[in-house]
Amino acid sequence: MKLRKPKITASIWSSGKIICTGATSEDDAKVGARRLARCLQKLGFKVRFSAFKVVNVLAVCSMPFAIHLVDFTKNNRPIASYEPELHPAATYRIKHLKATIQVFSTGSLTVTGPNVQNVATAVEQVYPLLFECQKPLREKRRGELRSQE
């Protein structure tokens, strides 16, 4: 089931559990879950809104530089893995924060964690390691062609 405002998608299971995804904040997630429960009540189902919790937070950010993934993985071998045949990103796991960071060679990061604070801490913790393995960003080809004219 989908809602337009806030923009969320809900999976409704036979056990009664409902999983909402796509919210842009914790408050939006709670409002969306409440609206969904209200819609189900109007359809005739007996619904109680209880045990709401945010289980996973996803964040995307971009570094101001490209990253040499092979060097990054070699420097952080036990907790970083990179298999270019399977996935274009290196995976960096921080166990005590329960966070996982996907590091792409373009400098893009996808961070998954249990809450917003852990995600922010994970990015702060990995930034110095990424900075060591930076490579200069290439300018776009069209920009180079225009500057030569």
- Residue 31's nearest CA partner among 4, 58, 11, 68 is 4
Burial classification of residue 33, based on how many CB atoms lie within 10 Å of its CB (0-12 exposed, 13-18 middle, 19 or more buried): buried
pLDDT at 137: 64
* CA separation for the pair 20, 75 (Å, rounded): 38
- 8 neighbors 29 (Cβ within 8 angstroms): yes
**Strands 66-67 and 57-62, how do they pair?**
unpaired
pTM of this prediction?
0.76
Domains along the chain?
2-42 (3.30.310.10), 57-135 (3.30.310.10)
Cis peptide before 88 (omega within 30 of 0): no
Which pair of tokens denotes residue 6? 């806030």
pLDDT (tens place) for every residue of the chain, 149 residues total: 888 888 999 898 888 888 889 989 889 989 998 998 899 899 998 888 888 888 999 999 999 899 999 999 999 888 999 998 999 999 999 999 999 999 999 999 999 999 999 999 999 999 999 999 888 766 655 555 555 55
**Nearest to residue 21, comparing CAs of 12, 10, 31, 5?**
10
